[in-house]
């Protein structure tokens, strides 16, 4: 093993294959492409952008192996792309804007999105704690966004929206596009994929006094498990394309008496149009803000069992639903 230094990074030869221990601050002034057969073992060290460098820096992995604790290893302004041999990625690996009073991250959305970009497929893990976001979390197909479920005095993984500027909190294999009339189209990124995209063990909490309309826009192949929402009019909306194997299990919605029935088209769970093998089981919609709980349209087979549903259920043009 070799201790990684700035001299090695900046030398003519640069990195070569081998294992490097990162114990120091490694300063980069330009993008870095890592050669094949490199392993980084982080021990308190990190990559940072050189002082005075006005551009962000990108590190490109080449199936690069990486071992690191859950702490900052890529400083503010560092982006990570390419291929990485890691079992999971963490937003805490990245640094961002911090509150001058308490040094806490003020917006976790770019950090979570960087971890998703780095992992490409597989698990991005959010350890228990609060993650405030200002912009949408963007998930492609094949990602598992996983938190921790707390009990009693043990904290859960909670995503809050203080200063949020987006429309949907999370877009999962889905995107929003502006059409020719200036309106908004909601589209899947990849259609007809397998059941390989998951959100689980997460709490989404909007502000009680400023209820957020929409939480998650989902394309195909997404499973939601043990998600808890507070104060959202709509928890999940699937895009309006053919979409089999929608699955929502063990999820909960709490609104604590908030009510707004002005918009009859907003359902807490909108399974949208077309798609078979829909599973909606062991969920608790304790109260819906609009009075509308679940919408299903042209579903050719579904299991809707063992739920608490306090709100209207709309089923149209469907069959084989139990």
Per-residue model confidence as pLDDT tens digits over 2-26 = 999 999 988 877 899 999 999 999 9
State the Cα angle at 34 between 28 and 37, rounded to 5°: 145
pLDDT tens-digit series, residues 37-82: 999 999 999 999 998 887 899 999 999 999 999 999 999 999 999 9
- DSSP, collapsed to helix, strand or coil, labels residue 112 as helix
Indicate whether this model's pTM tops 0.85: yes
CA 233 from chain centre, in angstroms, equals: 20
Do 270 and 234 form a contact (C-beta atoms < 8 A)? yes
């Amino acid at each position: 093993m070799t201790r990684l230094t700035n001299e090695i990074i900046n030398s003519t030869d640069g990195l070569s294959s081998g294992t490097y221990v990162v114990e120091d601050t490694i300063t980069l002034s330009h993008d870095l492409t890592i050669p094949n057969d490199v392993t980084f073992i982080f021990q308190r060290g990190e990559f940072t952008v050189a002082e005075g460098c006005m551009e962000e820096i990108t590190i490109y992995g080449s199936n690069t192996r990486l071992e690191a604790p859950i702490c900052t290893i890529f400083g503010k302004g560092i982006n990570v792309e390419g291929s990485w041999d890691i079992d999971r990625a963490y937003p805490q690996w990245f640094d961002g804007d911090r509150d001058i009073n308490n040094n806490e991250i003020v917006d976790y959305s770019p950090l979570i999105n960087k971890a998703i970009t780095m992992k490409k497929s597989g698990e991005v893990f959010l350890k228990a704690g609060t993650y405030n976001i200002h912009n949408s979390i963007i998930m492609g197909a094949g990602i598992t966004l996983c938190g921790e479920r707390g009990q009693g005095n043990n904290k859960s993984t909670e995503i809050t929206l203080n200063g949020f500027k987006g429309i949907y909190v999370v877009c999962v294999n889905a995107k929003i596009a502006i059409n020719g009339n200036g309106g908004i189209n909601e589209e899947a990124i990849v259609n007809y994929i397998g059941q390989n995209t998951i959100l689980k063990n997460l709490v989404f909490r909007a502000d009680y006094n400023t209820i957020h309309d929409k939480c998650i826009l989902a394309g195909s192949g997404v499973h939601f498990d043990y998600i808890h929402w507070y104060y959202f009019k709509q928890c999940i909306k699937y895009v309006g394309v053919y979409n089999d194997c929608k699955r929502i299990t063990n999820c909960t919605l709490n609104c604590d008496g908030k009510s707004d029935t002005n918009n009859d088209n907003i359902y807490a769970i909108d399974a949208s149009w077309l798609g078979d093998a829909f599973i909606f089981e062991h969920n608790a919609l304790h109260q819906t803000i609009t009075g509308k709980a679940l919408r299903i349209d042209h579903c050719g087979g579904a299991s809707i069992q063992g739920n608490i549903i306090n709100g209207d259920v709309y089923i149209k043009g469907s069959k084989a639903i139990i």
